[in-house]
Chain A
């Protein structure tokens, strides 16, 4: 048995190429391309300083994605636990040697580039939960004791990420884990209970929040309470969006972004620049692109024949959705500012690589959709 599992005689390289979802690949490239255009505009009509570097990262991400896609899905099944373990160790490493970036310890300096272990954990967590639930029988999922392990798998990294502190990623991890557990078939009442418990614990959670996190939530509830301070970002973002109108102010002509009224215009608030310059039309176009990407993710999950692949594909797709939703809702003032980038568009290396790796796994599911995987090692597929 090789590392890559038994080579399937029926799955030739040609078949793999045909199985690959080239539509998804194309849409990812298109979205990233749109991102380059906005970064070009944000830089005042220049490929410096962002477009060239972002394109280079996309190239790396693209290569990694295709590499991951063609690796046998059974390898990823086996790799789930080790990868999770590595990610967890790196998260602990951040606690010990982390470099503080923007007030939070989120990076491990690997010499060549800074690695953000919490990004890796987003993939590892989905993978490991998919792996775990793959091994459970349907009747076992309904039993509470089988949920103890996934709870630990989720809570430990969430706590580590919260300590960095990075509330946005912690919420994303929790939500992604919840969706995988939900898809695996956990009981309804369990989610209802967790929801009630979560609401009940808000006052306690409030006490444990950092000042800036409390500030963000208060500001979200009433941006005008501090128009020059914390509320400034969200107000300027809404002004930019609103002034864009239906057709926008024109490419390179967004006054709010070009004149630096927008904060973080190349990272978290990049959607605002797009919608200011290209208007409602541009904004809806991007949302449509995302919706199609997500729909393809759903389709791939539905077509897959095994539980691991299904949970993995849809877990990653839903995490992607969460990124999009939280970021866009945030810049439009629907949710508090939590520091979640807009996937494929926001400037930033780790996020780009993570998203591409994630879609590599989704593509791998697509390519290996007909590969049967037994529930327990040794058990042959029926």
Chain B
């Protein structure tokens, strides 16, 4: 009993110690639990929410691009596609085989899908086929019970219903490059595309809209359990252009396979009705992604399809520049319209001989005849009298030598040389012979088709500084009338008459490309700018005809004009790169464009008198001439 009680005493003492230790340890557990669940609760609650709540960005619907009448130039197309959710398919390969009996699938596509399926978690949808036709899509829907794991879906993709004629102006969207990232998280969405050219790029901010956000609860594997909250965001704005889609397509067809550019503007409002660069490209191909071969064929084409030549192609304006020289001469009072010069086909100056395009010469002529027949000798003479700086000043007033600010990517300023410019950029003094060359729009002088259209418009509207615009102003926004350039009306009227004679007098260079209907009649000026120097030897034998030369050595063909003569409304400029003669190649194109724009306007006015008044009202503002 004594032994037993001794055992018990030791046991009891030690058991109590052990019990005390256990109470202590239990208290530690309780204390730790308190620390985690009360003291640190906020911190861990936050982390728990970070775990389970994911923000999913919802790409906003991109704004459309419309023509002046609301015709869609860029829109969003339903993209019928079919995705595969591997965990819902009993056998992925079997499902694909079943799908193959409904729509064509290449072995490459199938292996790509299988690779994706293997790489991703089984509940992540993998795109099997995109851009399906409605027929295919419907067939898949009907057969869906036999296609476990396949889910037909309707997505959205950018669509350019008008295609190539608008490729340069509208531009295209394409995948986001690293350099495009601005911090807008929507740019980081997989598959998101942004504007890379044209209006798509310059108006990217407005077109994009703001992304919506969906707060979803996800599990540890990233599977979405449910949506907690959703904010749809704001869709992008529609952008309305001043372009007339029908006209644009007409112009594009008319330029055909040439490497050419054309600009057609309203001389009072500055609305660009048509701005075409040919050849174009398929903007759709860029949104899908170009193949290497497609890219090479675009970049290696010497006609440069990717360049918007109407604003980015700089060409010597040739004789179209004579309008500027004539205005400068009249405005500065250096000559009167009666000033006469005798053309013998050539003139000696310094130790060089300068030729007229007409070898036998024009004989004695005044300013109007010189414009009408585009006599080079006459303009050498008056250019020397005016001087290059005063010619340049007039050119700049008419909108040459600087970008027009139309708001499209890749616009070039052209070049209007001055004495100071030559000293600064070449480091040589200006020579008088260079003034002569500039007087016929060659040498250093460079312009774009849009600039020439603006120049023509500013002359045709009586000297208002109209600015070209391609994005239509918001409907009820008051448009201030263009300020006057302060050129004397008399001088302008003489130049306008000269242009009238070019097109409507039998000896005019543009007579063959006239519009016979007096209500639609145009007045213009041709230009043929040399791209090579004609050697003395060649002149002595025979100057090669354009069609005898290599393409790159042929002259650029230019023509500028306004119409109708009675009540000017439209100005057009066409440049056909290496096209040959201005009067022979460019003038007929301008004629057709100016005829078409007037015919369309008349048609529309007849069909819908209300729409007619809307389009007419801008014309009435400046009809003082």
Contact = CB atoms under 8 A, between A and B. Distances in A.
Contacts of B490: none
Nearest to A329: B29
A214 interface: no
A138 B3 contact: yes
Contacts of A258: 219
A287 B52 contact: no
A284 to B, nearest CB: 6
B52 A259 contact: yes
Interface in B1-15: 1, 3-4, 6-8, 10-12, 14-15
A101 to B, nearest CB: 23
Nearest to A185: B10
Interface string A323-350: 0010011001010000000000000000
Contacts of B28: 329, 334
B611 interface: no
Given A260-B220, A260-B221, A318-B22, A241 B33 contact: yes
B41 A243 contact: yes
A11 interface: no
A299 B192 CA distance: 71
Per DSSP, are chain B's interface residues mostly helix, strand or loop, or mixed?
helix
Tier of interface size on chain B: 35 or more
A284 B52 contact: no
A239 B11 contact: no
Interface stretch (B42-50, B429-437, B575-583, B614-622): B42-50
Most buried by B among A243, A283, A287: A243
Given A240-B48, A246-B38, A255-B51, A321 B221 contact: no
B32 interface: yes
Contact of B22 (A240, A294, A310): A294
B37 interface: yes
A307 B11 contact: yes
A50 interface: no
Nearest to A259: B219
A292 B157 CA distance: 67
Interface string A234-266: 001011111111100000000110111100000
A280 B44 contact: no
B406 interface: no
A302 B15 contact: yes
A236 B52 CA distance: 12
A280 B23 CA distance: 18
Contact of A246 (B10, B37, B225): B37
A103 interface: no
Contact of A261 (B19, B23, B220): B220
A260 B219 contact: yes
A241 B37 CA distance: 6
Contacts of B22: 294, 318, 321, 325
Contact of A243 (B7, B15, B48, B218): B48
Contacts of B30: 284, 287
Contacts of A182: 14, 18
Contacts of A255: 48, 51-52, 217
A325 to B, nearest CB: 5
| Residue of B1, B51, B225 with highest tally of chain A CB at under 10 A | B51
B36 interface: yes
B26 interface: yes
Contacts of B219: 258-261
Given A245-B38, A259-B217, A318-B18, A239 B32 contact: no
A314 interface: yes
Nearest to B52: A255
Given A245-B41, A328-B29, A332-B36, A239 B12 contact: no
Contact of B220 (A179, A259, A307): A259
A137 B7 CA distance: 8
A302 B15 CA distance: 9
Interface residues of A, number: 50
Contacts, number: 136
Contacts of B11: 183-185, 301, 307, 310-311, 314
A contact patch SS: helix
Given A242-B40, A242-B44, A307-B11, A138 B6 contact: yes
Contacts of A245: 37-38, 41, 45
B29 A325 contact: yes
Interface string B217-229: 1111100010000
Contacts of B8: 307, 310
Nearest to B39: A242
A369 to B, nearest CB: 13
Instruction: Pick the most buried of B19, B29, B220, B221: most chain A CB atoms within 10 A of its CB.
Output: B29
A358 interface: no
Interface string B163-202: 0000000000000000000000000000000000000000
B25 interface: yes
Given A183-B11, A375-B3, A238 B44 contact: yes
B449 to A, nearest CB: 60
Interface in A176-220: 179, 182-185
Interface string A9-24: 0000000000000000
A382 interface: yes
Interface in A148-184: 179, 182-184
From B14, B28, B37, name the one whose CB has the most chain A CB atoms within 10 angstroms.
B37
A256 B1 CA distance: 58
A185 B4 contact: no
B37 A279 contact: yes
B346 to A, nearest CB: 86
A291 B48 CA distance: 30
Contacts of A291: 23, 26
A284 B33 contact: yes
A65 interface: no
Contacts of A42: none
A307 B29 CA distance: 31
A38 to B, nearest CB: 16
Contacts of A240: 44, 48
B34 interface: yes
Contacts of A81: none
B25 to A, nearest CB: 5
A239 B44 contact: yes
B216 to A, nearest CB: 11
A90 interface: no
10 interchain residue pairs of minimum CB distance: A242-B44, A243-B48, A259-B219, A260-B220, A185-B10, A280-B37, A243-B45, A261-B220, A241-B36, A255-B52
Interface of B: 1, 3-4, 6-8, 10-12, 14-15, 18-19, 22-23, 25-26, 28-30, 32-34, 36-38, 40-41, 43-45, 47-49, 51-52, 217-221, 225
23 contacts: A138-B3, A183-B18, A241-B33, A242-B47, A243-B41, A243-B48, A245-B37, A256-B51, A258-B219, A259-B51, A259-B217, A275-B37, A287-B26, A287-B29, A287-B33, A290-B26, A307-B4, A307-B8, A307-B11, A310-B15, A311-B11, A332-B36, A334-B28
Interface of A: 137-138, 179, 182-185, 236, 238-246, 255-256, 258-261, 275, 279-280, 283-284, 287, 290-291, 294, 298, 301-302, 305-307, 310-311, 314, 318, 321, 325, 328-329, 332, 334, 375, 382
